[in-house]
Amino acid sequence: MKTFGIIEIGSTNTKAYLYKDDKVIDLGFKTIEFKNHYKTNNRLDEKDKKDLFDFIKTIDCEEIHVFGTSIFRNLSDKEKDEWLNEFKEKTGYDFTIVSSDMENELTVYGATANIDFDGKIAVMIGGGGSTELSIVQNKKIIEKANSSFGAMDTTDMFPDIKTDKATSNFAEMIKKTKELVNIPKNKADILILAGGDYIYFYEGVGFPIEKNKFYDNELQPYSLDVKTMDKWDQEFFYDISLEDVIKRNGNDGWWRGSRGMRLCVKSLADILEVTDIIPTRISMVYGIVEKIKNNEM
């Protein structure tokens, strides 16, 4: 059976996976803030590129497929050509820039392929520089609403949320974040959080999420009602020491962006009027695996 590696490179986090024995194995992630540093330097940062090349060298697999999202879509044609050539020269691998629509479809596949649920499901793909949203009914996408903002944009608006305890008003932050959202026409019953490690967030802070009450799926073991989510989020912003969370878990850059992602989640949950969220580790890797297995990618 075919074995291969997959690397997803976003605006903030780079994730690696191994497909082996018909299983997707998570090899971990590295925070590389491509978008933030691009905004500062008006180009891809040299240290970020080196960090990426070094991370790729740690993946012990002969066949590796590499995919870039958000920030790489926004490069000029000249910048894209230069980056694709440099990447190939440094690593020996091709670099595929994935459109918002394709990222949406690949991730929705992984989030909805093996679940049984009557009702409308929203799948949010949260990132540092973009937020993709699909409304799914009967395993078919009935609406897409992609927005060119993400966690790093909210932390730019409210820098204090990257410090030990936030000071900005929660309701005001949500109001401002909603102004950035491409609002869908449809509502939904539940919101699946994908594209980032939302389970890691709850485990890292120490919030005891409960078993998924909607369906059984090993990739989606938990669910959380929105009222409890709101209570815990506000505790995380104002009562819990971010510095203590970082000391326990490491991943400084990831955690300093995590409150920004909570604003994105809360804003979409409100707009969609969902009752519950399903935090997951699902990314577009599951859709990518299917396409590579079928020689479609």
Treating both helix axes as pointing N-terminal to C-terminal, what angle do 170-178 and 226-238 enclose, rounded to 10 degrees?
120
Do 120 and 209 lie in a common domain? yes
- 295 is a domain residue: no
Boundary-marking domain end, from 64, 98, 132: 98
The model's pLDDT over 246-264, given as tens digits with 9 standing for 90+, comes to: 999 999 989 999 999 999 9
Same domain as 192, residue 67: no
Model confidence at 69, in pLDDT bands (50, 70, 90)? Answer: confident
The range of the structural domain enclosing residue 157 comes to: 108-279
In contact, 164 and 246? CB cutoff 8 Å? no
The vertex-10 CA angle with 290 and 124, nearest 5°, equals 70
Tell whether 204 is covered by a domain.
Answer: yes
Are 211 and 146 within one domain?
yes
Assess contact for 73 and 192: CB atoms under 8 A: no
Rounded percentage of the chain residues whose pLDDT exceeds 90: 78
* Residue 131 to residues 44, 194, 196, 236, Cα–Cα distance (Å): 21, 10, 11, 22
pLDDT band at 121 (very low <50, low <70, confident <90, very high): very high
Looking at the fold, whether 84 and 113 belong to one and the same domain comes out as no
Q: Which residue has the tokens 């520089």?
A: 129
Residue 288 counted as domain residue: no
CATH number, residue 38 = 3.30.420.40
Structural domain count of the chain: 2
* Residue 85 scores a pLDDT above 80: yes
223 shares a domain with 123:
yes
Statement to judge: residues 42 and 169 lie in one domain: no
Q: What is the pLDDT of residue 59?
A: 93
> Would you place residue 100 in the very low, low, confident or very high pLDDT band (cuts 50, 70, 90)?
confident
Above 90 in pLDDT, residue 32? yes
Shared domain for 199 and 89, answered yes or no, is: no
pLDDT value for 39: 86
- Same domain for 156 and 18? no
Gap between the Cα atoms of 2 and 10, Å rounded: 26
* 85 and 113 assigned to the same domain: no
Task: Average the pLDDT over 165-191 and give the result.
Answer: 96
The pLDDT of 209-227, averaged and rounded, is 96
For residues 242 and 256, the answer to whether their CB atoms sit within 8 Å is: yes
Average pLDDT over residues 276-296: 91
Q: Assign 178 a pLDDT band (cuts: 50, 70, 90).
A: very high
Q: Do 80 and 172 fall within a single domain? A: no
